[in-house]
A and B are shown apart, each in its own frame.
Chain A
Amino acid sequence: MEEQTSEKTYRIHLMVCAGTGCVSNNSFAVKDALKEEIKKQGLENEVLVVTTGCNGFCERGPLLVVEPGKIFYQQLTIKDIPHLVEEHFLKGRPVEKLMYSPPEDKTPIPVLNDIAFFKGQVLIALRNRGLIDPEKIDEYIARDGYTGMAKALTEMTAEEVLEEVKQSGLRGRGGGGFPTGLKWEFVRRASTNNGGIKYIVCNGDEGDPGAFMDRSLLEADPHSVIEGMVIGAKAIGAQQGIVYVRNEYPLALKRLNIALDAAREYGLLGENILDSGFDFDIKVTRGAGAFVCGEETALLASIEGRLGEPRPRPPFPAEKGLWGQPTCVNNVETWANIPVIINRGADWYHSIGTETSKGTKVFSLVGKINNTGLVEVPMGISLKEIVYDIGGGIPGGKEFKAVQTGGPSGGCIPKEKIDLPIDYESLSEAGSMMGSGGMVVMDEETCMVDVARYFLSFTQDESCGKCTPCREGTKEMLNILTKITEGKGTEEDLTLLLELAQSIKDSALCGLGNTAPNPVLTTLKYFREEYEAHIKDKKCPAHVCRELNTYTIDEVACVNVGKGCDMCRRNCASDAIVGEKGKAHTVIQDKCIKCGVCYDVCRFGAVKVD
């Protein structure tokens, strides 16, 4: 892909982020412009452009980190490049205006490690982020890649590997939090039938909306997952591995396949790996867009070419999994942790985190937050540190309301619980869950009833329809929530919602159904007054539920401040605003479709919503 090679020594390395966030923001065009400009200035033998995986600070893309020195440039455009190359790489004067400045004080911070977003993070799963080109195996190896695997294959017995992972305290990062070592032990002990083999599966069917850690990991460091799987295979005695990746992640699929080919070519995968006599290979299966396939039995069914429907457990996949053989299913992030645990030892890993939750967790921090991006933090860190220190708080001076964790299976944690330490147990106690690591921040302009309705519409849509509680129950809950958001709800609806929630929790077949009521239960627990405002006052306090909103224009502000600018009338979607430039404008309520565009475009605060 690159014309330049890394065999030569370069004075400067330019690490251009090529994660999906930055690619969507045109980082490839920025990369091309950089290369061209570097050539133009005659610096091609001194400055090397490297494309890396996701750097994490997606909010500020496209990103560029200059090594050595970790000078951090952000929000680059092609126009910035000639000036940047001339000033910094030719004349040695870093360009301040392209650096990050925090919203509150505007002083540029040149070095990546000094930026609050990066400061509080501890990188284990994401150890190579932004440091290597994910399409080059040599760069992974240069960062101690495959040394954990070599140790496991040549110096350790399978029992020793298993024991190390058990001792580390690592728990499944896909959401359930089951101890990884224990799961491995079950599969190791299970016997195959009819002369079959054992399988290990990497679950990369990341379905939670608002979560992209698996995607970033596979895109930024696919070898860490491959290495983890080989180590797991040795401990378990598995011969075949399968990585199941969402079809919506083309870049992750591409980089994973490149990595697998390279690993095979280097003899790190396939027959007799590193002359250890151990055989193991990995295949890739593409998901086909069904949220329920994140559930392990549904996932295995779809690998076999069947409908992605869950089945009752037991038997667990550890006994009867893929093709009826013992199968170990772990999440992408779990696998990526394994090489480091083997390399640095269980004791080291065990020393990070809380009593019950060890190590780190990757979260995708999104929603109403200044620093959207991917963060890896030690277990036990408080929600407050994540939202305010790393996340940089809420944009526009708005008030923080809640954090949603665990996706459609999780719940909303209110601001009163902001000091909550993040681990599996405290999140469950608060009514939510760790989940795969989506963390959606909500502010005063987010309606909690609408959020509950949103998640229910998601689970309802994704319910596979096999069991009645999930198929019919979620539909009924969604109907009630929709009624409430339209101002047609009654007090009794809340009682009925709670009853339905409980019975679905108790009787649904799989995790999707069991946890579907969580968003409703937590919002009802912590934000009941918002539900009541919709029911009793027919008002949506956050002004999200459209049927309950009324838009009006303050004529005095419109004429005196805005000079009747006419923006609202010109942008109105339904010709519901009358008036002319320089004069007062009014909303004709019968015609208004409540799209809110008038409110958005008015720069004088003349449009009111109630």
Chain B
Amino acid sequence: MNEERLTEILGKYEADQSAIIAVLQDIQAEFGYLPKDAILTVSKEMNIPLSRVLSLATFFNAFSMEPKGRHPINVCVGTACHVRGAQLILEKLERELSISSGDTTQDGDFSLDEVRCVGCCGLAPVIMVGDEFHGKLTQTKIPGVLKKYQK
């Protein structure tokens, strides 16, 4: 963990306790998850009980306590994607990567998660790999999509 970046993030909000969620969001964006040490520092520097920081960190879906894969995959399971077969896409990914939803592959290349609607229902079913969208998917297209990211 980069201590300097953490100090910068904390400095931006000047220990304003109401900004705690924004601080955690910035840490999540910077490190890809909420490292344990960062949570401890935030609690101490912002003078907020650790229990409260942890309850926020585990309540909101935007936060993860575990590092994600180099290519985090988010499968949209919004309504439009659901009726167009998102569940089958998710299971195909689970089989291809040999992991369950919520997990990361052993080599750290991919992590697999579900997300509720990314708002481009016209492309359903959709997955996001990092910041890139892949739409109008079928089970047979999945291996090709993964290949783009495999070394």
What is A's interface to B at a CB cutoff of 8 Å? 20-21, 23-25, 58-59, 61, 206-212, 215-216, 247-249, 285-291, 302-305, 307-308, 364, 366-368, 372-373, 404, 407, 438, 440, 442, 446, 451, 454-455, 458, 464, 571, 573, 595-597, 600-601
Q: Known contacts being A289-B62, A446-B83, A595-B92, is A304 close to B18, with CB within 8 Å?
A: yes
**Chain B, residue nearest A303 (CB):** B18
Chain A residues, CB < 8 A from B119: 20, 206, 212, 215-216, 248-249
**Chain B, residue nearest A206 (CB):** B119
Q: Known contacts being A248-B115, A307-B56, is A58 close to B120, with CB within 8 Å?
A: yes
Give bound CA distance, A20 to B118, whole Å: 9
**Chain B, residue nearest A447 (CB):** B83
How many contacting A-B pairs (Cβ < 8 A)?
136
**Known pairs A24-B123, A308-B60 / 16 extra A-B pairs, C-beta < 8 Å:** A58-B120, A209-B78, A209-B117, A210-B80, A212-B117, A286-B21, A289-B60, A289-B63, A307-B55, A307-B56, A571-B139, A595-B91, A596-B88, A597-B139, A597-B140, A600-B139
Contact for B79 among A59, A248, A440, CB less than 8 A? A440
Determine whether the beta carbon of B79 is less than 8 Å from that of A407.
Answer: yes
Chain B residues, CB < 8 A from A404: 79
Contact for A207 among B116, B123, B124, B139, CB less than 8 A? B116
Give bound CA distance, A25 to B18, whole Å: 38
Determine whether the beta carbon of B83 is less than 8 Å from that of A305.
Answer: no
Chain A residues, CB < 8 A from B92: 573, 595, 597
Interface residue SS majority, chain B: helix
Give bound CA distance, A595 to B96, whole Å: 13
- Residues of B5-35 whose CB lies within 8 A of A: 17-22, 24-25
Q: Known contacts being A58-B120, A366-B122, A368-B83, is A286 close to B78, with CB within 8 Å?
A: no
The residue among B56, B63, B88, B120 with the most chain A CB atoms within 10 A of its own CB is: B120
Q: Known contacts being A288-B25, A304-B18, A595-B91, is A24 close to B78, with CB within 8 Å?
A: no
Contact for A21 among B22, B117, B123, CB less than 8 A? B123
Determine whether the beta carbon of A24 is less than 8 Å from that of B120.
Answer: yes
Give bound CA distance, A59 to B122, whole Å: 5
Chain B 83-123, CB-CB to A under 8 Å as 1, else 0, gives: 11000100110010000000000000000000111111111
Give bound CA distance, A240 to B16, whole Å: 18
Q: How many residues of B contact A (CB 8 A)?
A: 42
Give bound CA distance, A268 to B135, whole Å: 40
Chain A residues, CB < 8 A from B22: 285-286
Give bound CA distance, A171 to B55, whole Å: 36
Determine whether the beta carbon of B122 is less than 8 Å from that of A373.
Answer: yes
Contact for A305 among B21, B126, B135, CB less than 8 A? B21
Chain B residues, CB < 8 A from A289: 60-63
Contact for B140 among A248, A446, A601, CB less than 8 A? A601
Determine whether the beta carbon of A573 is less than 8 Å from that of B95.
Answer: yes
Chain B residues, CB < 8 A from A308: 59-60
Give bound CA distance, A605 to B117, whole Å: 33
Chain A residues, CB < 8 A from B75: none
What is the distance, in angstroms, from B24's C-beta to the closest C-beta of chain A? 7
What is the distance, in angstroms, from A60's C-beta to the closest C-beta of chain B? 8
Determine whether the beta carbon of A288 is less than 8 Å from that of B24.
Answer: yes
Determine whether the beta carbon of A458 is less than 8 Å from that of B116.
Answer: yes
Contact for B62 among A20, A247, A600, CB less than 8 A? A247
Give bound CA distance, A446 to B83, whole Å: 6
